[in-house]
Amino acid sequence: MSFLKSREAILTGAIVALLALVATRYGAFIRPANLAAVFNDTSPLIILALGQMVVILTRCIDLSVAANLALTGMVCAMLNVAMPGLPIGVILVVALALGAALGAINGLLVWKLDIPPIVVTLGTMTIFRGVIFLLSDGQWVNSHEMSASFTGFARHVILGLPVLSWIAILVALVMLVVMTRTPMGRALYAVGGNPHAAVYTGINVGRSQFIAFVISGMLAGLCGYLWIARYAVAYVDIAGGFELDVVAACVIGGISIAGGIGTVGGAILGALFLGIIKNALPVVDISPFWQLAISGAAIIIAVLFNARADRTKGRVILKSAEVTQ
Amino acid sequence: DDMRIAVVVKALGIGFFEAAAKGAEEAAAELGDVEIIYTGPTDTTAEGQIEVINSLIAQNVDAIAVSANDTDALVPTLKKAMQRGIKVISWDSGVAEEGRMMHLNPSSNPLIGNMIIKLAADHLPEGGEVAVLSATTTSTNQNIWIEEMNKVMGNYPGIEVVATVYGDDLADKSYREATGLMQSYPDLDAIIAPTSVGIVAAAQAVVDAGKVGQVNVTGLGLPSEMAGAVESGASQSFAIWNPIDLGYSATMIAYHLAKGDATAEPGATISMGRMGEVTLDDTTSGAMADPFVYDSSNIDDFKDIF
Amino acid sequence: MKDGAHWGAIPRAVPFFRPAGGGIMQAMTNSPASGETPVLALDQIVKEFPGVRALDGVQLALYPGEVTALIGENGAGKSTIVKILTGIYQPDGGDIRLDGAPVRFPTAQAAADAGVTAIHQETVLFDELSVAENIFLGHAPKGKFGLIDTARMKREARAILDGIGASMDVDVRLRDLGIASKHLVAISRALSIEARVVIMDEPTAALSQKEIEELYELVDQLKAQGKAILFISHKFDEIFRIADRYTVFRDGQFVAAGKMAEIDEAQLVQMMVGRAVDQIFPKRAARIGDEVLKVVGYSHPTEFEDINFSLKRGEILGFYGLVGAGRSEFMQSLIGITKPSKGVARVAGDIRVIRSPADAIDAGIVYVPEDRGKQGAITTMPIFQNVTLPSLGKTSKNGFIRLAEEFALAREYTQRLDLRAASLDTPVGSLSGGNQQKVVIAKWLATQPKVIILDEPTKGIDIGSKAAVHDFMSELAGQGLSVIMVSSEIPEILGMSDRVIVMREGRMVAELAGDDLTPETLVRHAAGIGSKGEAA
Amino acid sequence: MSMADHRPRSIPDQLTTPLARALKSWESLLLVVAIGIFILNSFASPYFLNAWSLSDATFNFTEKAMIAFAMALLIVAGEIDLSVASIIALASTAMGVALQLGAGTPVLVLVGLGTGLLCGAFNGVLVTRFGLPSIVVTIGTMSLFRGISYIILGDGAFRGYPADFAWFGQGYVFWVISVEFVIFALLAVVYGVVLHKTNFGRAVYAVGNNATAALFSGIRVGRVKMILFLLTGLMSGLAAICLTSRLGSTRPSIGTGMELEVVTMVVLGGVNILGGSGSIPGVVIAAFVMGLVTFGLGLLNVPGIVMSIFIGLLLIGVIALPRLWAKLRRA
Ligand SMILES: Nc1ncnc2c1ncn2[C@@H]1O[C@H](COP(=O)(O)OP(=O)(O)OP(=O)(O)O)[C@@H](O)[C@H]1O
Ligand SMILES: Nc1ncnc2c1ncn2[C@@H]1O[C@H](COP(=O)(O)OP(=O)(O)OP(=O)(O)O)[C@@H](O)[C@H]1O
Ligand SMILES: [Mg+2]
Ligand SMILES: [Mg+2]
């Protein structure tokens, strides 16, 4: 019962309706193979949205995810060029570690110096991009320079789905457990829900926010490698502006920008919603010039919708009102 | 003092322009008394270019050779530069006439427009469906070439352009657009991408969709970036002018204008060193050379150069 | 809430609590000897805030099996000492000894680990988490792989709630609970921690009479288990009811400590305020004039229905009811915060449509809210800017601010209320609760209203300031201002009001004046125990 | 009566003098930074100390600063508008449409300002009427407004603005003093007075510090926020006029990414991003700092992206260093 009224259910409904609408224009879109392809295409957004969710839950925001992704991706690509023999496992570890380290920079500035997260990540966003330029000297790393295993890993198909999709599923499962079943997950919710009370509860607010940034950074780093591998090219501007898509996915998924409210399922659905729109518009033959306006409108409608669903019933003290509720 | 010639590009870090910078340096070395200032914004915006040009004006350089992000938006700033005695030419992507002294086309637009459709048609003797994957909706070059291409479509019976989409010169968007094209048009035979970002992304999309051999990716691209696609068979052939030559020629022209041993007026000819001479038309623009076709036979010779 | 005997259920719940090692009930087996060696002793504690020395070398000792009442005016430093004991603030000097050994509490967790737990003055809970999660946040029972054992957590939460007679569902999100239930959750949370020292900072402020009685029984239980209890309250009847010892602070300094048995109320008050206080409510000659405000048929879809009354010049109209009776909601609709669905308000005969507080101020109706931290004061802004905020029209010219006049206005009204602060441009947030309340009242008086609504004006206010507020109310009424006073304190209602309206579950159930106005009639109407005999 | 028992204590108005506070303020720190950068620049490049160079340098910040003033008020009030750059695109597009219909310069200006106001009203209504968080709303309208420009213009461009329209972005009032710079300076004064000397400004602070208490105090919170969104829209419209005039053409990509630079300027100016505090002089100095940094580095032909590292470091550093210093001193 409560699920049917939940944000997740509403969003699932919206996604199904969207798919149905697209199907009327272009039936093949909802073929399982195509849906799998759409899921695969949306995987990086899902992973990033999950990281961003954690950050937003603690009343922060991470605008540096896309820049982190690009920087980590570039480092992985350059590493691959320099040492083509390096196993993918090592590359993955490097991506996760570097991403986490970049996230930790954000986290430390927020934790130790108490600088508002939006300011910190606005700053690191431009700094990270600049560092890519300095590292690469503005040069691209192209597909023929990358080793076959480097670009092949993400698209290797297991049980009908590419590794990229499986990684997104794995990340989602891990995040689900972390957020619902571990003391750390609870603490992250608590910090965003009522930071003042969290202090009284013995939770270190700053440290929890630091952890959130590290998680977000780590997932951005992971996406960095996956992104570079998938598109087989690395340059300064990769995933430019993608941070807004990530935040939009979270918002559509019902993660409250005020902190403390949001679920793993919501973040995933929000990302899928955007991903489907992105993938559907080109195939249903809507002029590419309409794309931007449609995604903008979708964000606004979704937020309006969420706000309605979010409106608390309030306290009812009149007996007559209770009956009619 | 050395003569300072500023080579302003659409954005730094794009392989094509990096190669052009090499050409400019080559010309400078040949001329001896020239210092090249290679610069440009980080992303392809007119506002960014204006800021860069303003600082060049302040430095009082001798000449500016610019590949513009916007035909009109740079005009007021470049006019200001000319008022302060700086010689201004545009190359590759042009500026409206009143904003520059002359414009150097890499090739002539009709030749390029014809070339891109010919590259696709040569592999489709029976005719077929082709789609265009362009850069941004505002790119001057791509739009002119597509226009020129459409003009000569009559010469290629049986070839039908089914769609034109825009990848915004972003790898991921281009990739998604290319994938979308293959889904919307299952019988698609070729994707023409007259942009170096788009063509790479389209080739990757074709490989990932398992359509190598069915969909031929062609258009304009850089040998270094397209080597993999030619090897995998996703692209049979593609064309590009030589950006090194282009940077070289632009520098040469700017040098002669700044030295005062050439003037930019309709009908004038200006020396481009080893590239010969350019003759200016009524709009004071001229073409450098024909585009050059790369395929499996010659790609290895070029892929390490640019 | 179940019947009274349920505190006795606690021992039966023992097996549920931490079966492995001495749960909260562990001390049951020890004899609760009220020895003369303190469990926790503080000495020479100093705590400074920018511009304020909140604690200046105070001492405090808590004994096993005894309740120590901490008494002092607003701003005396009571809550500050609680925060030091629970690791939220670090003292700037002095030492804390636990069983005679020096300790430090760098974090709240460290204090909890040492067995010190507190019910804080402000509810510090999480609206978006469930009841069970709130109770066990930070020390949830763990199962496999270190993951939270949700089932066990709910079971234990249920047991603790049962133990204090709270009946709410452990899965319900806290935002869906009423304020009193939230307080019960806060108490349960404190009980869920293995504690030797339990601190309660004004725990009864938000509870109804019945819940207060139950809390007293809980305190007795904890005493019996040998726990040391620190109890902070401004209510003297309460202190005399449950405390064994007292400690008095004044202006951040230690004044006295001793046994309750050896002291009387007058002496305590004398120590607390440093002077004798006339506890009798100021009687004044009622010169009641013409009708100022008439409210007809005010209704709201869910919060209140059909409220009618008329208010005269110079009159003090009391609104009595149990917590949650809907008085605040109704008052807020009078100033345009909540929109009534029906009803009209006439001010001096004219119908006034009040859609926002700005309209209400225009009409001469002002409201001193109950929640001063959120609705009353802008705590991050200076005192003078708070005071002049609704009167900016007066201190400015053509919309341009005139600083000198602002300060003059602020000075006038803060002096009238005897505000204590370092300067007028210090932020309100750095004042104690009582002084913050004075700023809020000053702000509204500065608008020179016709009707002032005071919602629980003396809640959490010390006895000295309380008397000042009461005096002031009489003085205002004497000057022809009409006062509406919402209060849940019967002595205050009886002592101050000319007439009382009783509300229950969103409805006016009685209007009492003169001889009808007795504690019994008030309670009977508020609780809905009519002549029919049973609760409605 | 107990009240009469003791004399009321008198409380001093202020403990520190306004001058002492000014010296310790953020603005002073920023001013030192600005002067430092100015001196560094004049040593680093021989071309810097030239009236025309400096005049050109002001174009790097004038349009952004116009928006930054209104944005500063909006952020002080606890809201934010990320759609400003998109409003520029839409306003510029609307002017282009008006141009096609034969409008002259006065009408173009009205259309530009009007479109800005409309966009501001749209944001304002969503935030104040529907109670949505502004950061989210304006991320949405950021796509929507620019999206509409794309729908109207596609791959085309509007050009051929009348000659006298060029005055806004390319004209000079006196010698090297450009029209844009004069507009910037006038707006700095107007916004400074509005925020710091009027009841409205006080209301803005009150709303930003505690909107609920401000509402209870009789401030029409919704109206204040609505006015601020309208102002921000209007300023974006004005910036659109200047930018369009300076570029002489309209394309839907006009002004891309400007919103972040505007926010950076406001934050660098000492406005608390969480609302409640900040000043216009701070924003003015921050505008100069950003203009000087980008122009100074530009003269050294440092690529824009490397400049952005400096801006990013400046943004974090100017906030972080004083805090770090205070921390170290305490330890
Ligand atoms: N965070 C803080 N910053 C600055 N001053 C503070 C802070 N917390 C408390 N104070 C000051 O310390 C003094 C003691 O405050 P405290 O809250 O302990 O009083 P209290 O005795 O609990 O009063 P009340 O009965 O009103 O709750 C007051 O003068 C108050 O202004
Ligand atoms: N579920 C709840 N969550 C948060 N606050 C609540 C809740 N229920 C009631 N309150 C707060 O408790 C206070 C009491 O509620 P209300 O104002 O309706 O009753 P009242 O008769 O005025 O009671 P009181 O005696 O406390 O003034 C209000 O300030 C209200 O905001
Ligand atoms: Mg207290
Ligand atoms: Mg109330």
Indicate the pLDDT class of residue A272, thresholds 50, 70 and 90: very high
Chain A neighbours, 3+ Cβ pairs < 8 A: B, C, D
Phi-psi region of C408 (alpha: psi -120 to 50; beta: other; left: phi over 0): alpha
pLDDT given at position A61: 94
> For residue C343, what are its two tokens?
């009803």
DSSP state letter for C148: B
The amino acid occupying position C283 is: K
Read off the amino acid at residue C331.
M
Distance (Å) from the C-alpha of residue A263 to the closest C-alpha of chain C?
A: 12
CA-CA distance, B291 to B266, in Å (whole number)? 24
Q: Which residue among D11, D197, D205 places its CB closest to the CB of C414?
A: D11
Which residues from A are below 8 Å from B13, CB to CB? Answer: 133, 136, 138-140, 235-237
A312 and C175 within 8 Å at the Cβ level: the answer is yes
* Contact (Cβ atoms closer than 8 angstroms) between residue B222 and residue B198: no
C183 lines ligand 2 (CB under 6 A): no
Do residues D237 and D112 lie in contact, with contact meaning Cβ atoms separated by under 8 Å? yes
Q: Is residue D158 part of a domain?
A: yes
H-helix segments, chain D: 18-23, 26-44, 51-58, 62-76, 84-100, 105-128, 134-153, 167-170, 179-197, 199-209, 211-216, 221-247, 258-268, 280-299, 304-330
Q: Which residue's alpha carbon is nearest to atom 2 within ligand 1?
A: C430
- Closest residue to A199, CB basis, from C108, C302, C304: C108
Q: Looking at residue C33, what is its pLDDT?
A: 44
Distance CA D253, CA B135 (A): 13
Residue closest via CA to ligand 1's atom 24 equals C74
CB D316 within 8 A of CB A120: yes
Q: What are phi and psi for residue A99, nearest 5 degrees?
A: -60, -45
Cβ-based neighbours of C520, under 8 Å, separated by 6 or more: none
| Average pLDDT score over residue span A124-142 | 89
Question: What is residue C348's predicted lDDT score, i.e. its pLDDT?
Answer: 86
pLDDT for res C24: 35
3-state secondary structure of D28: helix
Residue D44 placed within a domain: no
For residue C328 and ligand 2, the question of a CB distance below 6 A is answered with yes
In chain C the domains, ranked by start, together with CATH numbers, are 3-273 (3.40.50.300), 277-364+449-536 (3.40.50.300), 374-448 (no CATH)
- What string of pLDDT tens digits covers the 536 residues of chain C? 333 333 333 333 333 333 333 333 333 333 344 457 889 999 999 998 876 788 989 999 999 999 999 998 777 889 899 999 999 999 998 999 998 899 999 988 889 889 899 888 777 788 888 999 999 988 888 888 888 888 999 999 999 888 777 788 899 888 888 777 888 888 888 888 888 899 998 887 767 777 788 888 888 988 888 889 999 988 888 889 899 999 999 888 899 999 999 988 888 877 877 765 555 666 566 677 888 999 999 999 888 999 999 999 989 999 998 777 889 999 999 999 888 888 899 998 888 899 899 999 999 999 999 887 788 899 899 999 999 999 988 888 888 999 899 999 999 998 888 888 888 989 998 887 778 888 998 999 899 899 999 998 887 777 777 777 888 888 888 888 899 999 888 888 888 898 999 998 889 999 998 888 888 888 788 877 654 444 33
Query: How many C-beta neighbours within 10 Å does residue B109 have?
Result: 19
Residue D326 forms part of a structural domain: no
Contact between chains at D137 and A248 (C-beta distance less than 8 A): no
3-state SS class at C143:
coil
CB-CB under 8 Å, C422 with D11: yes
Query: Contact at 8 Å (CB) between B64 and B53?
Result: yes
Model pTM score: 0.83
CB C515 within 8 A of CB C504: no
CATH fold label, A40-312: ABC transporter involved in vitamin B12 uptake, BtuC (1.10.3470)
Q: How far is the CA of C101 from the centre of ligand 3 (A)?
A: 28
pLDDT of residue B102: 92
Whether the complex's predicted ipTM is more than 0.90 is answered with: no
Joined together, the tokens standing for residue C201 give 């900072």
The answer to whether D147 faces chain A, any CB pair under 8 Å, is yes
C-alpha C199/C-alpha C206 separation (Å) is 16
Considering the domain boundaries, does residue D55 fall inside one? yes
Q: Where are the domains of chain A?
A: 40-312
> Cβ(B56)–Cβ(B85) under 8 Å?
no
A-B C-beta contacts closer than 8 Å: 87
* CATH code (residue D241): 1.10.3470
Give the Å distance between the CA of C512 and the centre of ligand 4. Answer: 20
More confident residue, D188 or A13: D188
Nearest to B51 by CA among A188, D60, C393, C401: D60
Which chain D residues are within 8 Å of A120, Cβ to Cβ? 316
- Here the tokens at position D20 are 């002492």
Nearest to B166 by CA among B185, B139, B147, B144: B139
**What would the DSSP string read from start to end of C436-498?**
HHHHHHHHHHTT--SEEEEESTTTT--HHHHHHHHHHHHHHHHTT-EEEEE-S-HHHHHHH-S
Q: What's D159's DSSP letter?
A: E
Sequence-ordered list of residues with C-beta below 8 angstroms from that of B173, at least 6 positions apart, any chain: B167
Do the chains contact at D216 and C277, CB–CB below 8 Å? Answer: no
Q: How far is the CA of A66 from the CAs of A95, A270, A279, in angstroms?
A: 14, 18, 20
The residue whose CB lies within 8 Å of the most ligand 1 atoms, and thus the one to mutate among C71, C80, C438, is: C80
Residues B59, B4 contacting (CB under 8 angstroms): yes
C-beta atoms of A288 and B166 within 8 A: yes
Contact C441, C448 (CB under 8 A): no
Return d(Cα C94, Cα C45) in angstroms, integer: 4
Residue D101 maps to a domain: yes
Other beta carbons within 10 angstroms of residue D237's beta carbon come to 30
Cα–Cα nearest to A35, from A23, A17, A49, A48: A23
Identify whether the C-beta of residue C228 lies closer than 8 Å to the C-beta of residue C204.
no
How close A288 comes to chain D (CA, Å)?
9
Neighbouring C-beta atoms of residue A32, cutoff 10 Å: 8
Task: Show the beta-strand stretches assigned E in chain A.
Answer: 157-158, 161-162
Instruction: Report how far residue A164's alpha carbon sits from residue A41's, in angstroms, rounded to the nearest whole number.
Output: 9
Per the domain annotation, does D40 fall within a domain? no
CB A59 within 8 A of CB A263: no
- CA torsion through residues C238, C239, C241, C242, sign: positive
Instruction: Indicate the number of domains in chain D.
Output: 1
**pLDDT value, residue C530:** 54
What phi and psi values does residue C90 have, to the nearest 5 degrees? -105, 130
Highest mean pLDDT: which range of A68-77, B13-22, C504-513, D39-48: A68-77
The pLDDT value recorded for residue D274 is 86
Q: Is the pair C, B in contact (3+ CB pairs within 8 Å)?
A: no
Cα torsion C508, C512, C516, C518: sign = positive
How far apart CA A77 and CA A166 sit, in angstroms, is 22
The pLDDT > 90 percentage for chain A reads: 52
Coil, helix or strand at residue A164 = helix
CA nearest ligand 1 atom 11, residue: C54
Residues 6+ apart with CB under 8 A from C233: C69, C71, C202, C203, C204, C239
Neighbours of C (≥3 Cβ pairs closer than 8 A)?
Answer: A, D
Alpha helices in D101-197 (DSSP H): 105-128, 134-153, 167-170, 179-197
**Among residues B53, B68, B64, which one has the least CA distance to residue B87?**
B64
Which residue has 């101020």 as its token pair?
Answer: C361
DSSP D4: G
Is the CA virtual torsion C73, C75, C76, C79 positive or negative? positive
Give exposure, C386-417, as e/b (b: 16+ Cβ within 10 Å): bbbbbbbeebbeeeebeeeebbebbbebbebb
Helix A32-57 and helix A242-252: axis angle, to 10°?
90
Question: What is the model's pLDDT at position C417?
Answer: 80
pLDDT of residue A291: 74
**What pLDDT, on a 0 to 100 scale, did the predictor assign at position C282?**
64
Q: What pLDDT does D5 receive?
A: 42
Specify the 3-state DSSP secondary structure of B104: strand
Low-confidence ranges of chain B (pLDDT < 70): 305
User: From the CB of A315, is ligand 2 less than 6 Å away?
Assistant: yes
- D184 lies in some domain: yes
Instruction: Report the residue of chain C nearest D6, measured CA to CA.
Output: C418
Identify from B170, B299, B303 which residue to disrupt to test chain A contact, counting A C-beta atoms within 10 A and taking the largest count: B170
Sign, CA dihedral B161-B166-B171-B175, equals: negative
Look at residue A323 and tell me whether its pLDDT is greater than 70: no
Q: How far apart are CA A263 and CA A286, in angstroms?
A: 33
| Cβ contacts of C427 within 8 Å, gap of 6 or more | C379, C380, C381, C382, C383
Picking from A134-138, A241-245, C165-169, which range would have the lowest pLDDT averaged per residue? C165-169
Identify all chain A residues contacting C301, using CB atoms and an 8 Å cutoff: 318, 321
Give yes or no for a contact between B209 and B175, defined as CB atoms under 8 angstroms apart.
no
Question: Are C332 and C260 in contact, with CB atoms under 8 Å apart?
Answer: no
Could you tell me which residue, D281 or C29, shows the higher pLDDT? D281
D116-143 pLDDT tens trace: 999 999 999 999 999 888 988 998 999 9
The residue of chain B nearest to residue A130, with distances taken between CA atoms, is B42
Q: Where are the beta strands (DSSP E) in C20-85?
A: 40-49, 52-62, 67-71
Which pLDDT score is estimated for A60? 93
Are the beta carbons of D109 and D179 closer than 8 angstroms? no
Does residue D14 fall inside a structural domain? no
Q: What pLDDT is recorded for position D231? A: 98
Domain residue limits at D93? 49-321
